[in-house]
Amino acid sequence: MIKPHGSDELNPLYVTDASERDALQQEAEGLPSIVVSSATAANAVMLAGGYFNPLTGYMNKADALSVADNMHTVAGLFWPTPVLNLVENAGNIKAGDRIALKDPNIDGNPILAVMDVEAVETFSDEEMASMTQSIYRPAAGEEHIGANTFNSQGKVCLSGPIKVLNYSYFEKDFEGTFKTAVEIRQDIADLGWKKVVAFQTRNPMHLAHEELCHMAMDRLGCDGLVIHMLLGKLKKGDIPADVRDDAIRKMVELYFPENSAMVTGYGFDMLYAGPKEGVLHALFRQNMGATHFIIGRDHAGVGDHYGAFDAQTIFDNEVPEGALDIEIFRADHTAYSKKLDKVVMMSEAPDHEKDDFVLLSGTKVREMLGQGIAPPKEFSRPEVAKILIDYYQSQNS
């Protein structure tokens, strides 16, 4: 199986030993505590599950600036985006303290992790602006939801190793779908898959997405597919994770051979960081055991901040050779060809005009679903459309 990034074995930061976890929980009750941001909590969950291997906790200021600038920590570890615990005010917390990190996403703010604080540092306005530009690359003069979220957390950086006591709300709310990198590696081994392609999604999968996965599996000669959906915070208007889960599971049940595709999810908030997030997605898919990762048009994009294929070309222009072992499957926009009576990559149909494809905007599809109208079968499987129609109609009732 493919090695994790940066080490021979995964180093998940979840405390698996029950007695040690109970002791830490008891200790944490008496420690100084802070309620962290949702982004910081999501980082803890990813560290807990081994997705952010080989990191042992939150980055310090020097590492964060280095990663934002050139995708390497000061010590030389390749990493695409800073992994931070940012707060507005650290209060009396100082280097050398042991603190409890409380979960912002569960009522009562239960303790999520215990942290040994190695440094308390403050980013200047100029440093925050520089990191924002490097990570998110927002288009001039335009609002960027990811950049806004990043800058809303505060400028004080608490760095140091953590031990994680639970997986926040993800394990309970998405039972059977949320899985750690450790668990997915084990599932891949149990299935005997050697060559595995991963597909990232924060949306339901329409026919073009489904066929893209089939194309990738066929062209790469893969044993299996991991459909890996984001389960954390999204932007307003995105379809909730439980609805996506139902729709994707129905598609796999009906249109994929048995034991050829697994449907899973991970506990992280969407960054909307385009190319840099595409690299991060590839890195933690390597940690979960995938050998290949599909990156398509406008991967992890939002608005008009990125070029259509920036998340592919970053691997040519900015990711050093050998930095990651996982390989990228580069996909163009896929759509149903009326001429060929099948889904194709549009770049592979040079004799086509725009009208030769079945193309619907996201806005148009949402309007149709909200009115109880199923998109054409060339765009969406009817069984998937029904689940989405039921959701939109429930929102309108």
Closest-CA residue to 284 (of 147, 180, 209, 212): 180
Per-residue pLDDT of the chain (397 residues; tens, 9 = 90+): 999 999 999 999 999 999 999 999 999 999 999 999 999 999 999 999 999 999 999 999 999 999 999 999 999 999 999 999 999 999 999 999 999 999 999 999 999 999 999 999 999 999 999 999 999 999 888 899 999 999 999 999 999 999 999 999 999 999 999 999 999 999 999 999 999 999 999 889 999 999 999 999 999 999 999 999 999 987 777 788 889 999 999 999 999 999 999 999 999 999 999 999 999 999 999 999 999 999 998 899 888 899 999 999 999 999 999 999 999 999 999 999 999 999 999 999 999 999 999 998 888 988 899 899 999 999 999 999 999 999 988 887 6
Closest-CA residue to 327 (of 179, 219, 250): 219
pTM of the model: 0.95
Query: Domain spanning 18-171: which CATH class is it, in words?
Result: alpha beta
What Rg, from alpha-carbon coordinates, does the chain have?
21
89-94: long-range pairs with CB below 8 Å, 24+: 89/154, 89/156, 90/34, 90/120, 90/156, 90/158, 91/32, 91/34, 92/32, 93/32, 93/34, 93/117, 93/120, 93/158, 94/120
Distance CA 393, CA 397 (A): 6
> Catalytic residues, which ones?
202-203
Query: Do the domains spanning 18-171 and 175-396 agree at the CATH topology level?
Result: no
175-396 has which CATH code?
A: 3.40.50.620
Q: In what helix (H) or strand (E) does residue 355 lie, and over which residues does it extend?
A: none
Record the tokens describing residue 237, joined without a space: 């208007």
Record the tokens describing residue 120, joined without a space: 């308390």
Residue ranges per structural domain of the chain: 18-171, 175-396
CA distances from 239 to 66, 69, 203, 204 (A): 35, 33, 7, 8
